[in-house]
Amino acid sequence: QDQLVESGGGLVQPGGSLRLSCAASRSVFSIYDMGWYRQAPGKQRELVARITRRGNTNYADSVKGRFTISRDNAKNTVYLQMNSLKSEDTAVYYCWSSTTGGDNWGQGTQVTVSS
């Protein structure tokens, strides 16, 4: 399995911004889609945003207009710019990739939105 390394989580006040990054290790497998999921305490893991290799994106309704996903194919890296953060965005955020060798998950990074 490929390794996904996330960074950029932390504590932010409501209305603030954070940028998450996720880098995939070099691999013999080709990466198709990449994305971000999140899991809040007591809730199921849910899709936040995903992006194809060509740059097509889709977002959860709850983050549309506030979050932006992007990727750098040369670096096998995906980003999530999160603006206008709300308390309900508090969760562990997981990076995900779909490759010719199967799906991979990061270890998760905590995002806490609180005053």
Would you give per-residue pLDDT tens digits along the chain (115 residues)?
678 999 999 999 999 999 999 999 877 778 899 999 999 999 999 999 999 999 999 999 999 999 999 999 999 999 999 999 999 999 999 999 998 888 999 999 999 999 9
pLDDT of residue 80: 98
Rounded distance, CA 97 to CA 90, Å? 22
Rounded distance, CA 20 to CA 32, Å? 19
Quick one: tokens of 90?
A: 């508090």
Quick one: tokens of 31?
A: 């990466």
pLDDT of residue 4: 92
pLDDT of residue 1: 65
Question: With 0-12 CB in 10 A as exposed, 13-18 as middle and 19+ as buried, what is 96?
Answer: buried
pLDDT of residue 33: 95
pLDDT of residue 2: 73
pLDDT of residue 30: 84
